[in-house]
Amino acid sequence: MKVKKYLASTMKEALDKMKKDLGPEAVILGSRKISRGGLLDFLGKEMVEITATTEENVLSRKARSPGEQKPTGSRLSVTVGDQGPVPERRPEQFPKLVHDKLAASTAGLRISAANKPDAGSVRLLQSELRDIKNVVEEMAEQIRYQRMPSLPPSLKEIYKQLLENELDEGITVELIQQLYGRFSESEYTSPERVEKYLIGGITSLIKVAQPSAVREKGPLVLAFAGTSGVGKTTTLAKLATNKKFFGKNKLALITADTYRVAATQQLGTFSEIAEIPMEIVHSPRDMSRAVAKHKDKEVIMIDTAGGSQFNDRLIAELTRLLEAASPDEVHLVLSITTKPRDLMRTIKLFKLEQKVRLLFTKFDETLTFGSIVSVVRGSGIPLSYLTFGQEVPEDIELADPAKIAKLVVKNIF
Ligand SMILES: Nc1nc2c(ncn2[C@@H]2O[C@H](COP(=O)(O)OP(=O)(O)OP(=O)(O)O)[C@@H](O)[C@H]2O)c(=O)[nH]1
Ligand SMILES: [Mg+2]
C-alpha cells in the first residue's frame, strides 16, 4: 500500500499538497502536529503532518480476507473530498461517515425479503460489520486523542486513564500539557513524580467551604436540598448525631418534606430515637415560625423534599421555604454516582444563591471520582461534606481536596 506524508505549517496547506499529489479522492490515514524537532514543542513552531494514500489502496485493503492482519501504522481511513480537514471533524458528522462506509461495504451484497441470503452472503456481511465496528472504534479513539497528537506513550496512557476515571477532558489536557511542558523526560516517565504532580494539580482545583461553625448567638441554620434519593435525610441524621460535627450540640430538626407520608415518618423516627425535637412545615409561614420557635438551639437542620422531575413550580416552592428559613448554609446534596452532565443540570436547576455548598454522597458506590473535580470547578461552588456509606453517624467526613485528588488518580500508578 503506497502511503505518503505531507508536511506543512497549516492543515490547509498540507491538505492542498496532498490533493495536488494524490488527487481529490485521496484518503487520509492520520494527521498529527509535530515540531521541527520531531516532538510537539509547546513553545516552538508547530507543523502539521498528514499521512495519506489513494482510494484504490483502501479498497484493495477491504478486499482482503477478514482474518488477514491489517498493515502496521494503518489508521482511520476517511475520504477527504470536500469534507475538510480530519481534525476538525465533528461528532455529528459520524452518522454520515458510518453510513458511507456501510454503503460501500454492502454494495456487493444482493439481499431482499424475497431472496433469502445464502450462508456466504451472511458471512460476508458479518465480516463487513466487524470491519465497520473497527472503523467506528478507530474514529472514536482518534477523536479522543486528537488534542494530544504526539505525546510520548507514558503520558498518553495517563491521559487515557484520567479520562477513564471521569476527569473532564479540558482539565486532563491542561494537566498533561503542564506535565509535558515543565518536566524533563526523566521526570515525566517517573510514576512517583507524575503521581505527585497530578495529585497536587487536582487538589488545587477543588475548592472547599469553611467548616460550619456554631455561632455565639442564635442558631446555625443548615438546609439540605437535592433530587430524590440522593441521601439528604440520611446525611442530615449523620451530621446531627456524629460527635465530630453537631452530635454534641443542642439541635432542632425541621422537615418540609410533606409530599410523602413516609418521608416525615423517616425523620420523625430518627428524631425520637436521637431525642431531637422535630417540626413539620407546610408553608413559608410555618417555616418562619418553626425557626423562631427554636431560636434557643445551637443548630437547626432543615430537610426538604426531593423530586426526580424537579420543575419550576417545585423549585419556586423550595426557594420560598428556604427564604423563610434564611439558612446560613444550603447543602445541595448530590450523588457521585450521577453522570457529570446531570449533576451540572441539577446545580443549574436549583439556582441556589450564595450560601450554597455541594455535598457529595455515595462515595462507596463508585470506582471513578473524576466527575467531582469538573463539577466543583465548573460550578465554582465549594464542597462541604462527603459521605461513603449508609451507617449513621459514622459514614461522613469533611471534604478534603487532597484525599479526593488521590482517589481520582487511584489505580493509575
Ligand atoms: N451506599 C450509600 N448509600 C447511601 C449514602 N447516603 C445515603 N444512602 C442511602 O440512600 C438511600 C436514600 O437515602 P435518603 O437519605 O432517604 O435520601 P433522600 O435524598 O432523603 O431521599 P428523598 O427524601 O426520597 O428525596 C438510603 O437507602 C440511604 O441509606 C451513602 O453515602 N452511601
Ligand atoms: Mg429524604
Whether 129 is covered by a domain: the verdict is: yes
**78: pLDDT strictly greater than 80:** no
Q: Ligand 2 centroid to 247 CA: how many Å?
A: 20
Mean pLDDT of 278-282: 95
| pLDDT value, residue 357 | 96
Residues with Cβ < 8 Å from 71, sequence gap 6 or more?
A: 1, 61
| pLDDT value, residue 280 | 95
**Residue-number span of the structural domain to which 70 is assigned:** 4-145
> Does residue 82 sit in helix, strand or coil?
coil
| pLDDT value, residue 235 | 98
- Cα–Cα distances (Å) from 271 to 221, 236, 265, 328, in that order, read 17, 11, 10, 22
**224: pLDDT strictly greater than 60:** yes
Best CA proximity match to 317, nearest among 225, 179, 412: 225
* Residue % of the chain over a pLDDT of 70: 77
**Is 391 near ligand 1, meaning CB less than 6 Å away?**
no
- C-alpha 315/C-alpha 172 separation (Å) is 34
**102: pLDDT strictly greater than 60:** no
- C-alpha 183/C-alpha 194 separation (Å) is 9
Out of 14-23, 87-96, 309-318, 356-365, least confident range:
87-96
**Is 334 near ligand 1, meaning CB less than 6 Å away?**
no
CA angle 327, 261, 273 (to 5 degrees): 70
Residues 269 and 122 in one domain: no
**Is 238 near ligand 1, meaning CB less than 6 Å away?**
no
Q: Ligand 2 centroid to 325 CA: how many Å?
A: 18
| pLDDT value, residue 56 | 66
**Does residue 134 or residue 349 have the better pLDDT?**
349
Q: Which residue's entry shows cell 498533561? A: 176
- C-alpha 162/C-alpha 184 separation (Å) is 21
| CA-closest residue to ligand 1 atom 4 | 390
Q: Where are the alpha helices (DSSP H) in 206-305?
A: 232-241, 261-274, 284-293
- Sheet containing strand 4-8, strands side by side: 4-8, 46-53, 27-35, 78-79
Whether 34 is covered by a domain: the verdict is: yes
**Is 233 near ligand 1, meaning CB less than 6 Å away?**
yes
Q: Ligand 2 centroid to 260 CA: how many Å?
A: 9
Give the ligand with the smallest distance to the CA of 260: 1
Q: Which of 9-18, 22-31, 112-121, 383-392 ranks highest by mean pLDDT?
A: 383-392
- C-alpha 222/C-alpha 119 separation (Å) is 69
Residues 174 and 58 in one domain: no
Q: Quick one: pLDDT band at residue 75, thresholds 50, 70, 90? A: very low
Whether 212 is covered by a domain: the verdict is: no
**Is 335 near ligand 1, meaning CB less than 6 Å away?**
no
**Does residue 202 or residue 60 have the better pLDDT?**
202
Mean pLDDT of 259-282: 89
Total domains in the chain come to 3
The CATH number linked to 401 is 3.40.50.300
Q: Which three cell numbers stand for residue 403?
A: 484525599
Residues 201 and 258 in one domain: no
**Is 166 near ligand 1, meaning CB less than 6 Å away?**
no
**Does residue 406 or residue 68 have the better pLDDT?**
406
Q: Quick one: pLDDT band at residue 91, thresholds 50, 70, 90? A: very low
C-alpha 114 chain-centroid distance? 48
| pLDDT value, residue 1 | 60
Q: Which of 122, 145, 168 is the last residue of a domain?
A: 145
Mean pLDDT of 345-356: 83
| pLDDT value, residue 124 | 79
- C-alpha 356/C-alpha 347 separation (Å) is 10
Mean pLDDT of 214-228: 94
**Is 389 near ligand 1, meaning CB less than 6 Å away?**
yes
Best CA proximity match to 120, nearest among 108, 133, 130: 108
**87: pLDDT strictly greater than 70:** no
- C-alpha 337/C-alpha 346 separation (Å) is 14
Q: Which residue's entry shows cell 526523566? A: 186
* Closest atom of ligand 1 relative to the 307 alpha carbon: 25
Whether 382 is covered by a domain: the verdict is: yes
pLDDT in tens, 288-344: 999 999 999 999 999 999 877 677 888 889 999 999 999 999 999 999 999 988 999
Q: How many CB atoms lie within 10 A of CB 190?
A: 15
Residues 123 and 139 in one domain: yes
Residues 244 and 185 in one domain: no
Whether 210 is covered by a domain: the verdict is: no
Using most ligand atoms within 8 A of CB, pick from 228, 234, 369 the residue to mutate for ligand 1: 234
Residues 224 and 313 in one domain: yes
**65: pLDDT strictly greater than 50:** no
Q: Ligand 2 centroid to 263 CA: how many Å?
A: 6
Whether 251 is covered by a domain: the verdict is: yes
* Closest atom of ligand 1 relative to the 236 alpha carbon: 15
Out of 34-48, 215-229, 390-404, least confident range:
34-48
Q: Quick one: pLDDT band at residue 92, thresholds 50, 70, 90? A: very low
Q: Which residue's entry shows cell 440522593? A: 230
Best CA proximity match to 363, nearest among 337, 381, 342, 339: 337
Residues 229 and 356 in one domain: yes
Dihedral, 231, 236, 237, 241 alpha carbons, nearest 10:
140
pLDDT in tens, 145-181: 555 656 788 888 899 899 999 999 899 989 998 888 8
**Does residue 374 or residue 104 have the better pLDDT?**
374
Answer yes or no: are the C-beta atoms of 341 and 166 closer than 8 Å. no
Residues 196 and 230 in one domain: no
Whether 178 is covered by a domain: the verdict is: yes
Residues 159 and 116 in one domain: no
* Residue % of the chain over a pLDDT of 90: 46
| Cis amide bond preceding 393, omega within 30 | yes
**Is 362 near ligand 1, meaning CB less than 6 Å away?**
yes
Residues 80 and 189 in one domain: no
| pLDDT value, residue 347 | 92
Q: Which of 125, 145, 165 is the last residue of a domain?
A: 145
**Is 232 near ligand 1, meaning CB less than 6 Å away?**
yes
* Closest atom of ligand 1 relative to the 395 alpha carbon: 31
Q: Ligand 1 centroid to 321 CA: how many Å?
A: 22
**Is 331 near ligand 1, meaning CB less than 6 Å away?**
no
Residues 261 and 229 in one domain: yes
Using most ligand atoms within 8 A of CB, pick from 388, 390, 395 the residue to mutate for ligand 1: 390
| pLDDT value, residue 385 | 98
> Does residue 170 sit in helix, strand or coil?
helix
- Summary mean pLDDT of the chain: 81
| CA-closest residue to ligand 1 atom 1 | 389
Q: Ligand 2 centroid to 225 CA: how many Å?
A: 9
Q: Which of 12-16, 120-124, 340-344 ranks highest by mean pLDDT?
A: 340-344
Q: Which of 145, 165, 197 is the last residue of a domain?
A: 145
| pLDDT value, residue 244 | 96
Residues 136 and 187 in one domain: no
**Does residue 184 or residue 223 have the better pLDDT?**
223
* Closest atom of ligand 1 relative to the 257 alpha carbon: 23
Whether 215 is covered by a domain: the verdict is: no
3-state helix, strand, coil in the chain (%, to 5): 45, 15, 35
Q: Quick one: pLDDT band at residue 133, thresholds 50, 70, 90? A: confident
Best CA proximity match to 133, nearest among 160, 107, 98: 98
**Is 390 near ligand 1, meaning CB less than 6 Å away?**
yes
